[in-house]
Amino acid sequence: MRTGTRGLAALGVSVVCAITVLAVPGTAFADPGPSPARTAVPSPSATAAAPATDGELEAVRARLDRLYREAAVATDEYNAAEEKAEKQSAELVALAKKIVDGQRELDELRERAGAAARAQYRGGGLPDEARLMLSEDPGEFLDGTGRVLQGQRATKGLLARLTRTQQDLKTYAADASAQWQKLEANREAKATAQRRTEKRIAAAKKLESALEKEEKERLARLERQAAQEAQTAWLDSGILDKVAGRATEQGAKAVAYATAQIGKPYVWGAEGPESFDCSGLTSGAWAAAGRTVPRTSQEQWRRLPHVGTGEMRPGDLIIYFEDASHVGMYVGDGRIVHAPRPGRTVTLAGAGTMPILGVVRPDA
- Return d(Cα 310, Cα 289) in angstroms, integer: 24
Q: Strand pairing partners for 347?
A: 338
Q: Are 317 and 330 in contact (CB under 8 A)?
A: yes
pLDDT (0 to 100) of residue 153: 60
Q: How far is CA 322 from CA 22, 299, 348, 358, in A?
A: 32, 14, 22, 9
pLDDT (0 to 100) of residue 193: 84
The pTM (predicted TM-score) of the whole model is 0.62
CA 199 to chain centre: 21
Identify the DSSP state of 309: G
- Return d(Cα 360, Cα 364) in angstroms, integer: 9
Which residue type occupies 336? I
Cβ neighbors of 259 (< 8 A, separation 6 or more) are 331, 337, 348
Which residue type occupies 217? E
Q: Strand pairing partners for 332?
A: 335
Cβ neighbors of 260 (< 8 A, separation 6 or more) are none
- Return d(Cα 196, Cα 249) in angstroms, integer: 39
For helices 2-18 and 138-209, angle between their N-to-C axes, nearest 10 degrees:
30
- Dihedral sign from CA coordinates of 316, 314, 348, 56: positive
Q: Are 300 and 282 in contact (CB under 8 A)?
A: yes
pLDDT along the chain (364 residues), means of 10: 43 42 35 36 43 81 85 85 77 76 74 66 51 52 51 63 75 76 79 86 86 88 92 92 87 97 95 95 97 95 94 96 95 96 95 96 92
- Return d(Cα 163, Cα 171) in angstroms, integer: 13
Catalytic residues: 278, 326, 338
Q: What does residue 329 show for φ and ψ, rounded to 5 degrees? A: -105, 130
If one counts every other C-beta atom within 10 angstroms of the C-beta of residue 159, the result is 13
pLDDT (0 to 100) of residue 158: 67
- Return d(Cα 109, Cα 158) in angstroms, integer: 7
In terms of Cβ atoms closer than 10 Å to its own Cβ (0-12, 13-18, 19+), residue 273 is exposed
Identify the DSSP state of 50: P
Identify the DSSP state of 329: E
